[in-house]
Structure 1
Amino acid sequence: MDARGYAFDNASDQATAHHDALADLLDEPTRAALTGLGELTGRRCLEVAAGAGSIALWLAGRAAEVVATDIAPQHIPARPRLVVRREDIVTDQPPGTFDLVHARLVLGHLPRREEALRRMVAALRPGGALLIGEFAHPPVDFVADAPDTATADLLIRYLAAHVATLTARGLDPGWAQRAPAVFADAGLTEVRSGTTAGRWRGGGPGCRLLRAGIPQLRAALLTHGLTDVDLTATTAALDDPRVVVNGFPFVQVSGRAPDHPGPA
């Protein structure tokens, strides 16, 4: 991925906290969406940008074979029926063909996201399914509850800096809403979209995810109007159970390759 790609480094000392928060926050709706795409027994699956591998491991307990790829796959443990590969979906065509391809919080960060998506589509067997998951635009009314006005104002300023930082790195918050049309343009059928949304309490998975990002994004956050004092206070606020924010909507989009592809 190029310098304007994914902002969170698997080599960071925050990587474990980041991956754990993502799993706690998103694995349940992800597993539900994957289950809804059909029987996994006997299937060959691809997990793109697998991170710490929580979904790849879950798939490996059900499918015939799972290939988990990442540009830095060191956090993915070895398991039976799980093959781990160091690959970049921006430049590398996935190995072979698959009954199921899944990618979570990847394409929205990539300037060449549609090219990467078409690589995934090309890796589908006839009738195979593609599922992606992305955060959509953050809610306008981000802070639902806070112990005082100063904390609420700080969290609003933090969110603005967070979004500006990721957007400068190539994130497109509108990608989740556009993805269904891109799926259809890529030749997929049965295109569906569903959204999971809810409130995140301080100390819970969503706020832990934001907190884990602060050290990784610190230098850029400071250029967007925050100070080190602000970041220390934001970290504390995200741990405070009195804080409740309206979480980022999580949009999952699925589509299926035709059973009988047309002529190339």
Structure 2
Amino acid sequence: MTTPPPGSPDKTGYLLDNAQPEAGTRFDALGALFDASTFRHIEELGIAPGWRCWEVGAGGPSVVTWLADRVGPAGRVLATDVDTSWATGAAGGVVEVLRHDVGRDAPPEGGFDLIHARLVLVHVADRDRALRSMAEALRPGGHLLLEDADPASQPLICLDEYGPEQVLANRLRTGFRSLLAARGADLAYGRKLPRLLREAGLADVTADAYFPVTSAACAVLEAATVRQVRDELVAAGLATDEEIDSHLANVTSGRLDLTTSPMISAWGRRVAFLPSDDAA
């Protein structure tokens, strides 16, 4: 784990707390940016009526609602998170919402046809245990789809750094990522997913990556994120209030072409037995 910057608060846990009001805005922006890619991957895995699905770290309701529509009344969608407040609106019918920490708690019983987690494991302290837990919760033939960012492979938020506004944006993004790393986030985790799925005993492992170069949703996501971590950036000496105000004004003006970290999606299929089954 990276040592926190001098003067930064000694904190642990998820930096982007779901209890903060900006969380809902972030969930909506992430959905606008990445739902289409996520849904394409799940459709290619063959989701069908009657499937049992586990959405890990559900956050907002968009993916849960989409899954429920695909599996129909004969299926089941379990949505779990350490904070379920933003997903409770999707509860009912085939959807069950449950408070659950994938890095600590035993996996739900079931034998799932599909388990999906997006932007979850990069923040989980015991991410290796969490991944094994999900793989073991699959039924034979079931699919695990993991999607995580890889900020280390593309650290800039403004690819075209042609002026002071873009330089400031990239400096604040570097500061934000240092705060994430100080709390144990693995900023190179996305690239590891194919190997980790194979090591978990899954077959037919495949992966791809996607990131938008600029869009309105990128600007919404950036503004909400900066507002959410503003106090931490200032306390750690990574930015001043004046710099943050200037950056937020630049974001609102539409003069910045803002991107995101590459989102790496990797998926694999459980065979009849996993290596962990032999260990048991």
Residue 144 of structure 2 contacts residue 267 of structure 2 at CA under 8 Å; is this kept in 1? yes
Alignment of 1:124-203 (within 5 A): 124-137=138-151, 139-140=154-155, 142-145=157-160, 149-201=163-215
2:85 to 50, 70, 74: 74
Residue 126 of structure 1 contacts residue 259 of structure 1 at CA under 8 Å; is this kept in 2? yes
In the comparison of the two structures, how many residue pairs are matched? 259
Residue 69 of structure 1 contacts residue 87 of structure 1 at CA under 8 Å; is this kept in 2? yes
Whole-angstrom distance in 2 between the partners of 1:93 and 1:198: 36
Cα-Cα RMSD: 1.8
How far is 1:247 from its partner?
2.7
Instruction: Provide, for residues 40-69 of structure 1, a one-character-per-residue CA deviation record: whole Å limited to 9, x for no partner.
Output: 211000000100121011000111110000
Q: What is the SS of the residue equivalent to 1:67? A: strand
Residue 108 of structure 1 contacts residue 173 of structure 1 at CA under 8 Å; is this kept in 2? yes
Instruction: Provide, for residues 119-167 of structure 1, a one-character-per-residue CA deviation record: whole Å limited to 9, x for no partner.
Output: 1011100010000111112525542457x72211211211111111111
Alignment of 1:187-226 (within 5 A): 187-201=201-215, 204-222=216-234, 223-226=236-239
Structure 1 unaligned blocks of 5 or more: none
Query: Amino acid of the residue matched to residue 213 of structure 1?
Result: T
Alignment of 1:15-34 (within 5 A): 15-34=23-42
| 2:261 aligned residue | 248
Tell me which moved more, 27-36 or 254-263: 254-263
Query: Amino acid of the residue matched to residue 175 of structure 2?
Result: A
Instruction: Provide, for residues 161-183 of structure 1, a one-character-per-residue CA deviation record: whole Å limited to 9, x for no partner.
Output: 11111111111111111111111
TM-score by length of 2: 0.87
How far is 1:79 from its partner?
3.6
TM-score by length of 1: 0.92
Residue 136 of structure 1 contacts residue 174 of structure 1 at CA under 8 Å; is this kept in 2? yes
Whole-angstrom distance in 1 between the partners of 2:168 and 2:274: 53
Structure 1 moving runs of 4+ over 6 Å: none
Structure 2 unaligned blocks of 5 or more: 1-10
Shift in alpha-carbon separation, 1:141–1:104, aligned structure 2, 3 A = closer
Shift in alpha-carbon separation, 1:227–1:60, aligned structure 2, 3 A = same
Shift in alpha-carbon separation, 1:252–1:98, aligned structure 2, 3 A = same
Instruction: Provide, for residues 91-143 of structure 1, a one-character-per-residue CA deviation record: whole Å limited to 9, x for no partner.
Output: 11221121100000000112211111111011100010000111112525542
Query: Amino acid of the residue matched to residue 109 of structure 1?
Result: H
